[in-house]
Amino acid sequence: MFTGIIHSSGVIEAFEKLDAGARLRIRSSFDEPFERGESVAVNGVCLTVIPNGKSILTEVSDETLAKTTLGSLASATVVNLERALAVGDRLGGHFVQGHVDTTGTLIAKKSEGEFAVYRWSYPSEFAPLVASKGSIAVDGISLTIVDPDESSFAAALIPETLRRTNLGTARIGDRVNLEFDMIAKYVRALVEPYLTERREGSPDAAAEIVRRRRRP
Protein backbone atom coordinates (compact mmCIF):
# COMPACT_ATOMS: atom_id res chain seq x y z
CA MET A 1 0.00 0.00 0.00
CA PHE A 2 1.21 3.51 -0.88
CA THR A 3 0.03 7.11 -0.45
CA GLY A 4 0.94 8.79 -3.72
CA ILE A 5 3.26 11.23 -1.93
CA ILE A 6 6.57 11.16 -3.79
CA HIS A 7 9.67 11.95 -1.71
CA SER A 8 12.29 10.51 -4.03
CA SER A 9 13.06 9.74 -7.63
CA GLY A 10 15.16 7.19 -9.46
CA VAL A 11 16.94 6.83 -12.77
CA ILE A 12 16.65 3.84 -15.08
CA GLU A 13 20.14 2.39 -15.44
CA ALA A 14 19.21 -0.64 -17.54
CA PHE A 15 16.17 -2.29 -19.08
CA GLU A 16 16.75 -5.97 -19.89
CA LYS A 17 14.10 -7.80 -21.89
CA LEU A 18 13.84 -11.44 -20.89
CA ASP A 19 12.21 -14.44 -22.60
CA ALA A 20 9.23 -13.68 -20.35
CA GLY A 21 8.98 -10.23 -18.82
CA ALA A 22 11.85 -7.85 -18.17
CA ARG A 23 14.31 -6.72 -15.51
CA LEU A 24 14.79 -3.08 -14.52
CA ARG A 25 17.85 -1.70 -12.74
CA ILE A 26 17.14 1.62 -11.06
CA ARG A 27 19.50 3.96 -9.25
CA SER A 28 17.66 5.22 -6.20
CA SER A 29 18.21 8.38 -4.14
CA PHE A 30 16.87 6.82 -0.93
CA ASP A 31 19.28 7.04 2.00
CA GLU A 32 17.97 3.92 3.72
CA PRO A 33 18.89 0.72 1.84
CA PHE A 34 16.16 -1.53 0.49
CA GLU A 35 15.57 -5.00 1.86
CA ARG A 36 15.10 -7.97 -0.43
CA GLY A 37 11.43 -8.59 -1.10
CA GLU A 38 10.06 -5.22 -0.03
CA SER A 39 7.72 -3.31 -2.32
CA VAL A 40 8.40 -0.11 -4.21
CA ALA A 41 6.14 1.86 -6.53
CA VAL A 42 7.88 2.80 -9.78
CA ASN A 43 5.80 5.41 -11.61
CA GLY A 44 2.87 4.05 -9.65
CA VAL A 45 3.49 0.35 -10.36
CA CYS A 46 4.04 -1.88 -7.33
CA LEU A 47 7.16 -4.01 -7.84
CA THR A 48 9.29 -6.29 -5.68
CA VAL A 49 12.81 -5.15 -4.85
CA ILE A 50 16.02 -7.13 -5.27
CA PRO A 51 18.83 -5.02 -3.72
CA ASN A 52 21.88 -4.54 -5.93
CA GLY A 53 24.43 -2.28 -4.25
CA LYS A 54 23.34 1.35 -4.62
CA SER A 55 20.80 0.28 -7.23
CA ILE A 56 17.67 -1.86 -7.05
CA LEU A 57 16.54 -4.57 -9.42
CA THR A 58 12.89 -5.22 -10.14
CA GLU A 59 11.41 -7.93 -12.32
CA VAL A 60 8.39 -7.03 -14.43
CA SER A 61 5.89 -9.49 -15.90
CA ASP A 62 4.60 -9.36 -19.48
CA GLU A 63 1.16 -8.45 -18.09
CA THR A 64 2.60 -5.39 -16.34
CA LEU A 65 4.59 -4.40 -19.42
CA ALA A 66 1.42 -4.58 -21.52
CA LYS A 67 -0.81 -2.58 -19.16
CA THR A 68 1.60 0.12 -17.97
CA THR A 69 4.22 2.45 -19.39
CA LEU A 70 7.15 0.52 -17.88
CA GLY A 71 7.87 -1.27 -21.14
CA SER A 72 8.64 2.05 -22.84
CA LEU A 73 11.16 3.30 -20.26
CA ALA A 74 14.62 3.95 -21.66
CA SER A 75 17.97 4.27 -19.90
CA ALA A 76 18.42 7.59 -18.05
CA THR A 77 14.65 8.06 -17.69
CA VAL A 78 13.67 9.64 -14.36
CA VAL A 79 10.95 7.75 -12.49
CA ASN A 80 8.89 8.46 -9.38
CA LEU A 81 9.69 6.13 -6.47
CA GLU A 82 7.70 5.51 -3.31
CA ARG A 83 8.40 2.97 -0.59
CA ALA A 84 5.49 1.02 0.86
CA LEU A 85 3.47 2.66 3.61
CA ALA A 86 4.51 1.61 7.11
CA VAL A 87 1.93 1.22 9.87
CA GLY A 88 1.80 4.49 11.77
CA ASP A 89 3.05 6.65 8.88
CA ARG A 90 1.19 9.81 7.98
CA LEU A 91 -1.29 9.33 5.13
CA GLY A 92 -0.79 12.58 3.27
CA GLY A 93 -2.27 11.54 -0.07
CA HIS A 94 -4.80 8.72 -0.51
CA PHE A 95 -4.74 4.93 -0.50
CA VAL A 96 -2.79 3.78 -3.57
CA GLN A 97 -2.30 0.08 -4.25
CA GLY A 98 0.21 0.27 -7.06
CA HIS A 99 -2.20 -1.69 -9.28
CA VAL A 100 -2.41 0.36 -12.46
CA ASP A 101 -5.84 0.35 -14.13
CA THR A 102 -4.90 1.87 -17.48
CA THR A 103 -2.70 4.49 -19.10
CA GLY A 104 -3.48 8.07 -20.06
CA THR A 105 -1.90 10.75 -22.24
CA LEU A 106 -0.96 14.33 -21.41
CA ILE A 107 -3.00 16.46 -23.80
CA ALA A 108 -2.64 19.97 -22.37
CA LYS A 109 -0.53 21.93 -19.91
CA LYS A 110 -0.86 25.52 -18.80
CA SER A 111 1.55 27.44 -16.59
CA GLU A 112 0.17 29.76 -13.94
CA GLY A 113 3.27 31.39 -12.48
CA GLU A 114 5.11 28.66 -10.55
CA PHE A 115 1.98 26.53 -10.65
CA ALA A 116 0.55 24.57 -13.57
CA VAL A 117 -2.63 22.85 -14.72
CA TYR A 118 -2.24 19.62 -16.70
CA ARG A 119 -4.95 17.66 -18.51
CA TRP A 120 -4.78 13.96 -19.36
CA SER A 121 -7.00 11.81 -21.55
CA TYR A 122 -8.13 8.37 -20.38
CA PRO A 123 -10.30 5.51 -21.76
CA SER A 124 -13.96 6.50 -21.51
CA GLU A 125 -15.02 3.20 -19.91
CA PHE A 126 -13.42 4.45 -16.68
CA ALA A 127 -15.52 7.63 -16.58
CA PRO A 128 -17.68 6.42 -13.61
CA LEU A 129 -14.51 6.36 -11.48
CA VAL A 130 -13.55 9.96 -12.24
CA ALA A 131 -15.22 12.54 -9.99
CA SER A 132 -14.54 16.23 -9.48
CA LYS A 133 -12.44 16.75 -6.32
CA GLY A 134 -11.82 13.00 -6.16
CA SER A 135 -8.37 11.39 -6.01
CA ILE A 136 -6.34 9.71 -8.73
CA ALA A 137 -2.75 8.45 -8.95
CA VAL A 138 -0.88 9.69 -12.04
CA ASP A 139 2.47 7.91 -12.41
CA GLY A 140 2.10 7.17 -8.70
CA ILE A 141 1.43 10.80 -7.71
CA SER A 142 -1.68 11.49 -5.65
CA LEU A 143 -3.60 14.28 -7.40
CA THR A 144 -7.01 15.90 -7.02
CA ILE A 145 -9.24 15.75 -10.09
CA VAL A 146 -10.66 19.00 -11.45
CA ASP A 147 -12.92 19.72 -14.43
CA PRO A 148 -13.40 16.07 -15.54
CA ASP A 149 -15.35 14.97 -18.60
CA GLU A 150 -16.05 11.57 -20.13
CA SER A 151 -12.55 11.13 -21.54
CA SER A 152 -10.22 13.58 -19.78
CA PHE A 153 -9.49 15.26 -16.47
CA ALA A 154 -7.27 18.04 -15.19
CA ALA A 155 -5.19 18.54 -12.05
CA ALA A 156 -3.60 21.62 -10.56
CA LEU A 157 0.08 21.08 -9.75
CA ILE A 158 1.92 22.98 -7.05
CA PRO A 159 5.60 23.95 -7.43
CA GLU A 160 6.68 21.21 -5.00
CA THR A 161 5.08 18.53 -7.18
CA LEU A 162 6.66 19.95 -10.32
CA ARG A 163 10.10 20.00 -8.64
CA ARG A 164 9.96 16.64 -6.92
CA THR A 165 8.33 14.42 -9.58
CA ASN A 166 8.74 13.69 -13.26
CA LEU A 167 5.72 15.86 -14.10
CA GLY A 168 7.98 18.90 -14.05
CA THR A 169 9.55 17.76 -17.33
CA ALA A 170 6.46 16.12 -18.86
CA ARG A 171 5.64 16.88 -22.49
CA ILE A 172 2.42 16.81 -24.48
CA GLY A 173 1.85 13.26 -25.72
CA ASP A 174 3.63 11.57 -22.79
CA ARG A 175 1.84 8.48 -21.51
CA VAL A 176 1.27 7.99 -17.78
CA ASN A 177 0.07 5.20 -15.52
CA LEU A 178 -3.35 5.79 -13.98
CA GLU A 179 -4.77 4.19 -10.87
CA PHE A 180 -8.30 5.23 -9.96
CA ASP A 181 -9.40 5.66 -6.37
CA MET A 182 -9.75 2.32 -4.60
CA ILE A 183 -12.94 3.40 -2.79
CA ALA A 184 -14.54 4.47 -6.08
CA LYS A 185 -13.80 1.04 -7.56
CA TYR A 186 -15.41 -0.80 -4.64
CA VAL A 187 -18.46 1.45 -4.76
CA ARG A 188 -18.80 0.83 -8.48
CA ALA A 189 -18.61 -2.94 -7.94
CA LEU A 190 -21.33 -2.76 -5.27
CA VAL A 191 -23.79 -0.67 -7.30
CA GLU A 192 -23.16 -2.29 -10.67
CA PRO A 193 -25.87 -4.98 -10.18
CA TYR A 194 -28.47 -2.28 -9.57
CA LEU A 195 -27.31 -0.28 -12.58
CA THR A 196 -27.57 -3.46 -14.64
CA GLU A 197 -31.12 -3.93 -13.42
CA ARG A 198 -32.05 -0.44 -14.52
CA ARG A 199 -30.42 -0.86 -17.94
CA GLU A 200 -31.99 -4.24 -18.61
CA GLY A 201 -35.38 -3.31 -17.19
CA SER A 202 -35.69 -6.57 -15.26
CA PRO A 203 -36.48 -6.36 -11.52
CA ASP A 204 -34.72 -9.68 -10.93
CA ALA A 205 -31.50 -8.95 -12.85
CA ALA A 206 -29.61 -7.33 -9.98
CA ALA A 207 -30.79 -9.90 -7.43
CA GLU A 208 -29.58 -12.72 -9.66
CA ILE A 209 -26.12 -11.12 -10.02
CA VAL A 210 -25.84 -10.71 -6.26
CA ARG A 211 -26.86 -14.36 -5.71
CA ARG A 212 -24.16 -15.51 -8.14
CA ARG A 213 -21.48 -13.51 -6.34
CA ARG A 214 -22.45 -15.03 -3.00
CA ARG A 215 -22.12 -18.60 -4.21
CA PRO A 216 -18.95 -20.34 -2.99
Span 128-168, pLDDT tens digits: 999 999 999 999 999 999 999 999 999 999 999 999 999 99
| CA separation for the pair 46, 29 (Å, rounded) | 18
Res 168: pLDDT: 95
Are 171 and 106 in contact by the 8 Å Cβ rule? The answer is yes
Res 59: pLDDT: 93
pLDDT class of 31 with cuts at 50, 70, 90: confident
pLDDT class of 204 with cuts at 50, 70, 90: low
In three-state secondary structure terms, 123 is coil
Q: Which residues contact 9 (CB under 8 A, 6 or more apart)?
A: 29, 78, 79, 80, 81, 164, 165, 166
Domains of the chain: 8-83 (2.40.30.20), 102-182 (2.40.30.20), 183-216 (no CATH)
Are 105 and 113 in contact by the 8 Å Cβ rule? The answer is no
| CA separation for the pair 94, 56 (Å, rounded) | 26
Span 14-27, pLDDT tens digits: 999 999 999 999 99
Of these ranges, 81-90, 115-124, 203-212, the one predicted with the greatest mean pLDDT is: 115-124
